[in-house]
Amino acid sequence: MKIGILTSGGDCPGLNAVIRAIVRKSDQLGFETIGIIDGWKGIFDENYIQLDLNSVAGIINKGGTILGTSRFSPFEKKNGMDKLLNKISRKKFDAIIAIGGEGSMHIAQMAYEAGINIVGVPKTIDNDISGTDYTFGFDTAVGIATEAIDRLHTTAESHHRIMILEVMGRHAGWIALYSGLAGGADVVVIPEVTTKISQVIKVIKSRYNRGKRFSIIVIAEGAKFDEKSMKLKKENKKLDDFGRERLGGICTFLADEIERRTGFECRATILGHVQRGGMPSAFDRVLGTRLGIYAVEMAYEKKFGRMAALQGNEIVDIPITEAIGKLKTVDKDLYEVAQVFFK
């Protein structure tokens, strides 16, 4: 069996653990593994590398992806589907394991419908893919964000400032909520809940009245405020290669508003790609490894059009359509737990 492996969309810690596991398991079963460079674009460019035990040695602890990635969508290109099918049959792939986030799983489903033998593996630091309890990358990102909150805490307290940390999370506030809970944030602002700035200020003032002259706010990049005054600068409206708005910078809007309305000194930090880079946590390495092994078994059993997923402590497989049908947003109960601390 000849298996092609690609990583697509934003990178995240743990991708190399998956690639390594796929190659190791394939070696055990006598399968050939080909790395496709830079996601779906690699098939168009016929840019491949042969993967063997040596090519994946020593990569489990490395962030990013040794295969490179892109947000290239073959179906957006002229004659994209025909090109894709031709190039895949020319290379004689028996199966393609596509490791990607929500956007990439949409492409994987289209490829499957076009007749390609696809196995999906979910990845994203945002943890917003349905059908899987966690995605690898998330645990690492939460760890980095929590450390950032701990560091902001000491300087916030010394200078009696309001510190705002912006983390990633386009549609879902998982990173903000988990790191906010772990780091003892005073307010967490997530995309799922339209927030009133007056509510945030109420918390800051009530803390001030209790003698706490500093506060820590964690905000997800995709957060929404109901204030009509919210006008993000034009330069924030650039698009990525999937045509989605490039996010980042909402924390400065919130900082300016709080400072303007209260007179409290307010500073904003955008954590940005720091939370997506570097070494994966042990949890993400193990999850990535388990998913990679399982994905090869799925290919062997011809479970195409399906995605490996973590449910409880089991790795299972679900239809890709189930994973992309609806985003997995923060659950209300967990947000209510966090709200106990917004006071």
| Catalytic residue annotation | 126
Give, as ranges, the residues between 2 and 41 that touch ligand F6P (CB under 6 A).
Answer: 10
Please tell me the count of residues contacting ligand F6P according to CB under 6 A: 13
Q: Draw the binding track, 272-291, toward ligand F6P (x: CB under 6 A; -: no contact).
A: ----x---------------
Residue 122 interacts with ligand F6P (CB under 6 A)? no
Distances (CA, A) of 129 to 103, 174, 213, 244, 324: 10, 11, 39, 17, 7
Tokens at 113, concatenated: 């419908």
Beta strands in 30-110 (DSSP E): 32-36, 48-51, 95-100
- Residue number closest to ligand F6P, CB atom: 168
Closest approach, Cβ 137 to ligand F6P, in A, equals: 9
Q: Which amino acid is at 251?
A: C
Closest approach, Cβ 138 to ligand F6P, in A, equals: 10
Residue 168 interacts with ligand F6P (CB under 6 A)? yes
Answer whether 217's CB lies under 8 Å from 186's CB. yes
Compute how many other C-beta atoms are within 10 angstroms of the C-beta atom of residue 191.
24
Closest approach, Cβ 102 to ligand F6P, in A, equals: 8
Tokens at 52, concatenated: 């063997």
150 CB-near residues (< 8 Å, 6+ apart)? 183
124, 144, 134, 141: which is closest to 290 by C-alpha? Answer: 134
Residue 106 interacts with ligand F6P (CB under 6 A)? no
Residue 125 interacts with ligand F6P (CB under 6 A)? yes
Closest approach, Cβ 274 to ligand F6P, in A, equals: 12
42, 257, 280: which is closest to 143 by C-alpha? Answer: 280
**Minimum CB distance to ligand F6P smaller for 170 or for 306:** 170
Pick one of 8, 73, 124, 179: the residue that binds ligand F6P (CB under 6 A): 124
Residue 247 interacts with ligand F6P (CB under 6 A)? yes
Phi and psi at 224, nearest 5°, equal -125, 140
Residue 126 interacts with ligand F6P (CB under 6 A)? yes
- Write b or e for each residue in 122-142: b if 16 or more Cβ atoms lie within 10 A of its Cβ, otherwise e: bbbbbbbbbbbebbbbbbbbb
Pick one of 143, 169, 173, 183: the residue that binds ligand F6P (CB under 6 A): 169
Residue 240 interacts with ligand F6P (CB under 6 A)? yes
What does the binding site for ligand F6P look like in residue numbers (CB under 6 A)? Answer: 10, 101, 124-126, 168-170, 221, 240, 246-247, 276
